[in-house]
C-alpha cells in the first residue's frame, strides 16, 4: 500500500510528536509498505493559525497515495477519501488547557470567538476520517468531550527498545524529558529539600529557552542542593538516555495532564525501572499502577519527597516495581505489530 504520513511540526523543536511519525515510517516499510512522510510547518500564533490551516486544507493528495495517516493538528485537514488519524493531541491551549495556568493566551471576546471557530473546523475535519486512533484514553476522552468524536486507543511503542537495559539500582532519580515548565521538573528540585534519604536527582533534556533551566539551577542553589541535583539542559541522545537509566534507582515523569504516558515512561520500563509520577499527570496514569510498577503521589514537593524516601526505605521496592514494567507494557499491547495491523488494515 502507498501510505502518506502527514503531520505538523514546529521548526527547531524535536520531541514525541515527530518521533511517532518517523518511527511509524520505519516500521511500515519493514512490513512491506511504500511510505512518504510529509512534515508541514505550523506556528501556533492565533492571528496566523487560520491562514495556515487553510493552506493545509487546500492540499489534496488523493491521486498520489492510497491512504493518509495524519497525526498532529491540523494535519487532519488535508483532503483524502481514505484518511486515518493517529491523533496525539489538540491545540491544547484552546481545549483542555483553557481553564489552566498553561493556556498562554488571553481570555477575551476575540480569543473566545477564535476558539469556537477552531472547534467547528476541527469537528468537521475529524468526522471526515475513516478511523480515529488516539495515543491514550485521555486524548480519546478529550475528543469525545470537545468534538463529539469516538476513537480507539492505540499506544505508541519505542522504535528500538533494545537500547534500554537494566543494571543496578543506585541512588539517583532520573528525569529525562524536554525541560519545560509544564513538565514540572521544578517540583522534583523542590522535593529534594524535604528528603532524608541519600537520593540524588538528574534532570536531563533540552528546553526551548534558557529561562526554565536557569530557574531550576537557582532553586537548587537557594536550597543548597547543587551537589545533589544535576541539570543537563541539552538534547539527550538515545544512548545517553540508556546510560542514565541503566543504574538509577527509579525514573520520574510528572508533567501536568500529559496526553499520553510519554516515551520517558516506556524508556524507564524497558530498563526495568519504576516510574515516579503524580495523580494529575494525565495519560501517565494509564501505564503506572501505584505500588505495582511505580509510585503515584500528589503533585506537591512534600509528597514527592516521601515517595523518593520510600524507594530507599524499602530496599527491594525499586527493583520489584521496575521488573513489573515490561509486564505492564505487554498487558497494554504496546508493540509495533499491533500498531501496523491497525493503521494499515
Q: Identify the pLDDT of residue 11.
A: 77
Which DSSP state fits 299?
Answer: S
Phi, psi torsion values for 255, nearest 5 degrees: -70, 165
Supply the pLDDT for residue 14: 67
Q: What are the tens digits of pLDDT across the range 295-308?
A: 999 999 999 999 99
Cα 108 from Cα 125, distance rounded (Å): 26
| The two domains 2-154 and 161-331 share their CATH topology (first three levels equal) | yes
In this prediction, the residues of the chain whose per-residue pLDDT falls under 50 are none
CB atoms within 10 A of CB 64: 11
Class of the domain covering 161-331: alpha beta
How many other CB atoms are found less than 10 A from the CB of residue 265?
29
Cell 512518504: give the residue: 36
Matching residue, cell 525499586: 318
C-beta separation of 7 from 21 below 8 A: yes
**CATH architecture classification, 2-154:** 3-Layer(aba) Sandwich (3.40)
Which pLDDT score, from 0 to 100, does residue 310 have?
98
- Asked if residue 292 has a cis previous peptide bond (ω within 30° of 0), the answer is no
Query: What's residue 2's pLDDT?
Result: 96
Query: Which pLDDT score is estimated for 345?
Result: 84
> Domain limits of the chain?
2-154, 161-331
Q: 93-123 in b/e burial notation, b at 16+ Cβ within 10 A?
A: bbbbbbeeeeeebeeeeebeebbeebbebbe
pLDDT of residue 277: 98
Amino acid at each position: 500500500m502507498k501510505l502518506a504520513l502527514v503531520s505538523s511540526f514546529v521548526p527547531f523543536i524535536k520531541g514525541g510528536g515527530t518521533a511517532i511519525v518517523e518511527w511509524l515510517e520505519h516500521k511500515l516499510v519493514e512490513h512491506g509498505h511504500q511510505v512518504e512522510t510529509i512534515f508541514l510547518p505550523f506556528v501556533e500564533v492565533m492571528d496566523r493559525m487560520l491562514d495556515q490551516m487553510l493552506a493545509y486544507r487546500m492540499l489534496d493528495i488523493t491521486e498520489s497515495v492510497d491512504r493518509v495517516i495524519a497525526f498532529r493538528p491540523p494535519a487532519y485537514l488535508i483532503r483524502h477519501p481514505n484518511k486515518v488519524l493517529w491523533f496525539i493531541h489538540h491545540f491544547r491551549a484552546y481545549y483542555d488547557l483553557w481553564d489552566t495556568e498553561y493556556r498562554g493566551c488571553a481570555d477575551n471576546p476575540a480569543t473566545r470567538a477564535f476558539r469556537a471557530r477552531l472547534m467547528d473546523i476541527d469537528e468537521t475535519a475529524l468526522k471526515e476520517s475513516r478511523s480515529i486512533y488516539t495515543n491514550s484514553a485521555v486524548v480519546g476522552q478529550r475528543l469525545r468531550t470537545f468534538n463529539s468524536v469516538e476513537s480507539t486507543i492505540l499506544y505508541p511503542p519505542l522504535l528500538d527498545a533494545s537500547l534500554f537495559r537494566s543494571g543496578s539500582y543506585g541512588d539517583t532519580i532520573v528525569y529525562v524529558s524536554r525541560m519545560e515548565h509544564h513538565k514540572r521538573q521544578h517540583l522534583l528540585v523542590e522535593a529534594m529539600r524535604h528528603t532524608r534519604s541519600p537520593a540524588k536527582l538528574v534532570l536531563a533534556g533540552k528546553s526551548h529557552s534558557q529561562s526554565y533551566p536557569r530557574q531550576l539551577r537557582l532553586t537548587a542553589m537557594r536550597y543548597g542542593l547543587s551537589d545533589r541535583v544535576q541539570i543537563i539542559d541539552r538534547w539527550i541522545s538515545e544512548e545517553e538516555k540508556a546510560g542514565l537509566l541503566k543504574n538509577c534507582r527509579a525514573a520520574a515523569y510528572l508533567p501536568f495532564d500529559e496526553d499520553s504516558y510519554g516515551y520517558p515512561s516506556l524508556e524507564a520500563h524497558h530498563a526495568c525501572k519504576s516510574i515516579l509520577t503524580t495523580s494529575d499527570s494525565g495519560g501517565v496514569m494509564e501505564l503506572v499502577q501505584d505500588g505495582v510498577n511505580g509510585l503515584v503521589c500528589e503533585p506537591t514537593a512534600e509528597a514527592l519527597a516521601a515517595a523518593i524516601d520510600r524507594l530507599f526505605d524499602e530496599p527491594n521496592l525499586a527493583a520489584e516495581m521496575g521488573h513489573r514494567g515490561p509486564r505492564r507494557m505487554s498487558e497494554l499491547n504496546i508493540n509495533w505489530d499491533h500498531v501496523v495491523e491497525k493503521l494499515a488494515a
